[in-house]
Structure 1
Amino acid sequence: MTTDIIDQGRNNRTAVGVACGVGAGALWGLVFLAPELARDFNPLQLTVGRYLAYGLIAGALLAPRWKAVTSRIGRGDWLNLFWLGLTGNTLYYILLSGAVQTGGIAMTSLVIGFLPVAVTIIGSRDHGAVPLRRLHLPLLLCIAGAVCIGWQALAAPAATSHVTRLIGFGCAVGALASWTFFAVSNARRLRQLEAVSAHDWNLLTGVVTGAQSLLLLPVALLIASGAQHEAGDWMRLAGVSVGVAVLASIVGNNLWNRMSRLLPLTLVGQMILFETLFALIYGFAWERRLPTVIEALAFLLVVLSVATCLRAHRAGPGVAHEGA
């Protein structure tokens, strides 16, 4: 009886965690569209605009409870927030925007699609994680899906030079490394920090990221001084920045942080696949076309990867570590 209650509680946590992961992926997929919506602005300007908006909104939401929230974190937590803001937001989005604008959404999605593999391999050593030997099938399906996702883009005639596409690929790899560090570090810290809610941790991250963007603002304005932008262009950038800040950074990050507290890191890694999946769906809508056979196959592989990973976690951490 007691065992059944424990299993039910674990399954409920997993279901809620997966739902939060899907929601975060749906909102995060929008960030791949932002560089296309404001293509006449460079990656630094897009990043500063988005995270200044994120920081201002987060600061406004925290203002009534600022002393109460900040009294529960120490100097080490502020340093941790600095690195999380830098790797998961500022640096990541500069690299991601550069990758989308020079290499395209599909190529960028291919590279970012390997995030689950990187996070799952690192997370397999965490306490309560399913050992890597039980995740071979989900990882293979994930890799196969990621390869299919980018096959069309790599095989299609290039609209830009090889050098430009190579720069885009390098930016995408850098974004992959940056966000892998963020995903692992953030999930581990959230499990250790019980005094601050997932929502408040996200808002604190936004305040720190906004401060980083404020320091980069003079550089972004200096670059903008040589470009010809009308008032309407700046309004469009502001609209895109606020929209992405609210949907992806405030709501999406909050869902992700809630998920990170509910799921083991090996399963957290698989949830990143939904960002890739939704990014492609939005990309198809932007291009006004249906997915090809290869892209449809990639969708199926992504779903199977997550489903088999969920199945591997049903036994629970105790069984998962047996013989490991």
Structure 2
Amino acid sequence: MSKSLISSIIYALIADAVWGLAFIVPNLLYNYTAVEITFGRYFIYGIFSIVILFIENKKIYKLIRRNMWKNAFLFAFCGNIGYYLFLVISIKLTGAAISTLIIGLLPITTALYGNCINHEFSFKKLLPSISIIFIGIFILNCASFKGTIDTKFNIYGIFCSLIALCLWTWYAVANARFLRENKEFTPKIWSTITGGSTLCLMPFFVLILKVMMPQSIKISQMLNFNNQIFKFWGSALVLGIIVSWIGTVFWNKASNALPVSLAGQMTVGETVFGLTYSFLVELRFPNIIELVGILTVIYGVLFGIKTVRKLKETNAEEIKEVQL
């Protein structure tokens, strides 16, 4: 296995480990809605990015061009604001169970769409690992949804879930392609520019949700000086800087060299790390269904890594033979 592939896998795992914190931090903020927590997260992410943009303005100014901002705003919408906006609306209309089940397909859709766009490997070769991961995700969903009562069929809610799924799937593939075609943008700089663009989109995010779900976000509650406000903004700092900014930097590093078909499969690591953190916080071991689901997902990812390694070695040997 090449050093480039190994380092990219490590970067992806670090991103997954960081993103997994998003599973447990909101549980500390029971007095705040999911939308308010998301607002705090992306607000801090945006402010932090703007500060870095000012600090490194000379370096970034040389890279700025009109077309770059179009991509930055598009990625900020599809990967952050738009994705979560449609997910929240879906949960409101359909319930968390169906919405989470559909969004849980992200590793599958990203791997398939990425391979379709980039023509990296034969779909027949990728199918076994993708199928194993799908089975693992299904098992984990069965464990999560056991006893849920908020499931309700709503075609508009399902449609919003599918839009959220498509937005992030497209973002993952398009972002990886952009970074490969624009090497002058380092993972750190691009994460910063995306964060600044996310901040610019925040007013639209708040306005739409205030109209559709007035009780979902109360700005006054996030500004009241009390004991809870320190916990809220402390958590927002963790989510905004560590989860969003640092997580995106490492994901951008992974996207630079990792085949998108494999990177897509590795996004499931976020769920595995998130569940692991949850078990640690709850001071419990996973039940048998959760354990089987996690082990199945891990096996699927390892199988995918092994498949990609073999395919890369085969391709390298074929290129050498042609050159000879």
Q: TM-score, normalised by structure 2?
A: 0.83
Choose from 307, 311, 315 the match for 2:306: 311
| Pair 34,87 (structure 1): closer, same or farther in 2 beyond 3 Å | farther
Give the C-alpha shift of residue 205 in structure 1: 0.4
Alignment of 1:154-303 (within 5 A): 154=145, 156-158=146-148, 160-163=149-152, 173-216=162-205, 223-224=217-218, 231-303=226-298
Counterpart residue number, 1:118: 109
Give the C-alpha shift of residue 62 in structure 1: 2.4
Alpha carbons 1:126, 1:265 under 8 Å: kept: no
| Pair 152,274 (structure 1): closer, same or farther in 2 beyond 3 Å | same
Distance in structure 1 (CA, Å) of the matches to 2:75 and 2:290: 33
Alpha carbons 1:54, 1:246 under 8 Å: kept: yes
Structure 1 range deviating more: 72-81 or 222-231: 222-231
Matched, 1:91 2:86: no
Task: Encode CA deviations 1:250-300: one digit per residue, 9 max, x unaligned.
Answer: 211110000000111111111101011112222333444321111111111
Instruction: State how many pairs are aligned.
Output: 310
Aligned Cα root-mean-square deviation (Å): 3.2
Alpha carbons 2:81, 2:205 under 8 Å: kept: no
Q: TM-score, normalised by structure 1?
A: 0.83
Distance in structure 2 (CA, Å) of the matches to 1:241 and 1:97: 18
Give the C-alpha shift of residue 103 in structure 1: 5.2
| Pair 214,242 (structure 1): closer, same or farther in 2 beyond 3 Å | farther
| Pair 265,172 (structure 1): closer, same or farther in 2 beyond 3 Å | same
Distance in structure 2 (CA, Å) of the matches to 1:247 and 1:148: 30
Give the C-alpha shift of residue 175 in structure 1: 3.5
Distance in structure 2 (CA, Å) of the matches to 1:94 and 1:248: 18
SS in 1 for 2:116: coil
Distance in structure 2 (CA, Å) of the matches to 1:289 and 1:108: 26
What letter corresponds to residue 281 of structure 1 in structure 2? T
Identity of aligned residues (%): 27
Give the C-alpha shift of residue 240 in structure 1: 1.4
Distance in structure 1 (CA, Å) of the matches to 2:8 and 2:31: 38
Give the C-alpha shift of residue 18 in structure 1: 0.5
Matched, 1:38 2:29: yes
> Structure 2 unaligned runs (5+)?
319-324
Distance in structure 1 (CA, Å) of the matches to 2:287 and 2:181: 44
| Pair 98,217 (structure 1): closer, same or farther in 2 beyond 3 Å | closer
Matched, 1:74 2:92: no
Distance in structure 1 (CA, Å) of the matches to 2:4 and 2:313: 16
